[in-house]
């Protein structure tokens, strides 16, 4: 563990088939005012909305609602939520939905009592959180982002066409998160698959850096292996509780900070995808999958040893009679085949991108990377390679 770190994650996670039974006890820790945040109504279809409202009633809460949170939550929704918090004596923001809803809850909490422009302060200048916030609770219905146990909040500013993620400190981690794998059953297959590749990408972005023996790398490989296995089982049978519960917990563990400790990390694929998302509104995980393959094919030579390890330890590639280059490429090929198995499109075109968007996307992403720092030109080439 080459680099010093601080690890602190105070989210209380209730996991399993009866996890929702814990909601009332959690609600009792807070005052009367609840802002209930959710998306476009899929929680109504699965009956979760009614169950949550019933528990809120039993707990005698005054509920204000904000619904219609988008898959790429918008800054205007954040401002609307912030206004509702200020006007309704909100003591808790309860996010019911996927990672977008939880991301939006964090942004609302950070913005409600921010005295300057929240977008500028938190998503442009990346200032530390220093204003009053409202605690957040989550009931998760989709596995992927890991937002249920971290401070990440990705917001799209429609006026500037920038989709930007930032990581808040622990005051904005959900105080509690309720994870029932059965709530993810109704997610459409392409959304499930998008979530799965999002998790894979979180793992890759943390993994592909450094050359030391690091506990985190071993943990990442473990999560990757089970994720792959569980994804195959879930594709085969979406009602496989073992598979769906492992995917859900892998998603949380993949981004609750633990497996990135003492790693420099990469995150360039996420940076590029966020801008793709701002332009196309495509599902995040699908964008990640399409970009990842040419990205890793371009950078692997700069971190060859790690890509060999990836091929060997995660995909079981045999080293016999092969050069390191060949083994490394076999690992990336296996990742590509995994994306195919999941039925993920292979091009940005299929995700709704137009050719003229590519330079706009490439030049709006900050230059960065892991084993290789990428220029805007190099990012553009990667986008062209998967267009």
CA atoms of 210 and 43, how far apart (whole Å)? 42
Q: Which residues contact 25 (CB under 8 A, 6 or more apart)?
A: none
* Residue 256 phi, psi (nearest 5): -105, 25
Q: How far is the CB of 86 from a second copy (least distance, A)?
A: 29
CA atoms of 321 and 39, how far apart (whole Å)? 53
The smaller minimum CB distance to a second copy, of residues 16 and 33, is found at 16
Q: How far is the CB of 258 from a second copy (least distance, A)?
A: 7
Q: How far is the CB of 225 from a second copy (least distance, A)?
A: 6
Q: How far is the CB of 12 from a second copy (least distance, A)?
A: 4
The smaller minimum CB distance to a second copy, of residues 63 and 261, is found at 261
CA dihedral 301, 304, 306, 310 (to 10 degrees): 80
Q: How far is the CB of 232 from a second copy (least distance, A)?
A: 11
Residue 283 and residue 191 in contact, taking contact as beta carbons nearer than 8 Å: yes
Residue 242 and residue 297 in contact, taking contact as beta carbons nearer than 8 Å: no
The smaller minimum CB distance to a second copy, of residues 42 and 177, is found at 177
The smaller minimum CB distance to a second copy, of residues 18 and 115, is found at 18
The smaller minimum CB distance to a second copy, of residues 245 and 280, is found at 245
The residue ranges that bind a second copy (CB under 8 A) are 1-19, 22, 181, 212-215, 218-219, 221-223, 225-226, 229-230, 242-243, 245-246, 248-250, 253, 258, 261-262
Tokens 């094919």 sit on residue: 297
Q: How far is the CB of 216 from a second copy (least distance, A)?
A: 9
| Complete DSSP assignment for 190-207 | HHHHHHHHHHHHHHHHHH
> Of 105, 202, 119, whose CA–CA distance to 148 is shortest?
105
C-alpha 361 chain-centroid distance: 20
What single-letter DSSP state applies at residue 297? Answer: H
What is the per-residue burial (b if ≥16 Cβ within 10 Å, else e) of 151-185?
Answer: bbbbbbbeeeebbbebebeebbbbbbbbbbbbbbb
Q: How far is the CB of 217 from a second copy (least distance, A)?
A: 8
The smaller minimum CB distance to a second copy, of residues 109 and 230, is found at 230
Q: How far is the CB of 233 from a second copy (least distance, A)?
A: 8
The smaller minimum CB distance to a second copy, of residues 38 and 338, is found at 338
Q: Is 146 left (phi over 0), alpha (psi -120 to 50) or beta?
A: left
The smaller minimum CB distance to a second copy, of residues 6 and 159, is found at 6
């Amino acid at each position: 563990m080459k680099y010093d770190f601080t690890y602190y994650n105070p989210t209380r996670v209730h996991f399993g088939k009866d996890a929702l039974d814990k909601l009332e006890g959690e609600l009792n820790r807070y005052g009367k005012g609840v802002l209930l945040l959710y998306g476009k109504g899929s929680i109504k279809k699965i009956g979760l909305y009614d169950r949550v409202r019933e528990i809120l009633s039993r707990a005698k809460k005054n509920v204000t609602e904000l619904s219609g949170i988008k898959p790429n939550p918008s800054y205007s929704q954040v401002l609307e939520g912030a206004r509702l918090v200020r006007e309704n004596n909100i003591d808790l923001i309860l996010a019911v939905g996927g990672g977008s809803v939880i991301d939006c809850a964090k942004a609302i909490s950070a913005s409600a009592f921010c005295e300057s422009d929240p977008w500028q302060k938190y998503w442009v200048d990346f200032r530390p959180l220093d204003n009053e916030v409202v605690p957040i609770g989550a009931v998760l219905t989709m596995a992927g982002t890991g937002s249920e146990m971290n401070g990440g909040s990705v917001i799209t500013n429609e006026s500037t066409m920038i989709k930007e993620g930032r990581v808040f400190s622990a005051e904005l981690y959900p105080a509690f998160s309720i994870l029932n794998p059965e709530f993810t059953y109704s997610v459409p297959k392409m959304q499930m698959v998008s979530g799965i590749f999002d998790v894979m990408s979180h793992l890759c972005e943390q993994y592909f850096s450094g050359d030391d023996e690091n506990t985190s790398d071993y943990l990442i490989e473990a999560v990757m292996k089970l994720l792959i296995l569980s994804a195959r089982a879930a594709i085969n049978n979406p009602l496989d509780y073992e598979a769906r519960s492992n995917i859900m917990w892998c998603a949380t563990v993949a981004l609750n900070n633990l497996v990135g400790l003492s790693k420099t990390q990469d995150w360039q694929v996420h940076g590029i995808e966020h801008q793709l998302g701002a332009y196309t509104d495509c599902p995040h995980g699908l964008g990640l999958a399409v970009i990842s393959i040419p990205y890793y094919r371009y950078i692997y030579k700069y971190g060859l040893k790690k890509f060999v390890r990836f091929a060997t330890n995660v995909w079981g590639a045999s080293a016999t009679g092969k050069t390191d280059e060949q083994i490394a490429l076999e690992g990336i090929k296996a990742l590509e085949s995994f994306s195919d198995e999941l039925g993920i499109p292979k091009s940005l075109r299929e995700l709704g991108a137009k050719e003229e968007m590519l330079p706009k996307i490439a030049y709006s992403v900050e230059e960065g990377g892991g084993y290789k720092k990428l220029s805007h030109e190099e990012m553009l080439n990667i986008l062209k390679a998967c267009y």
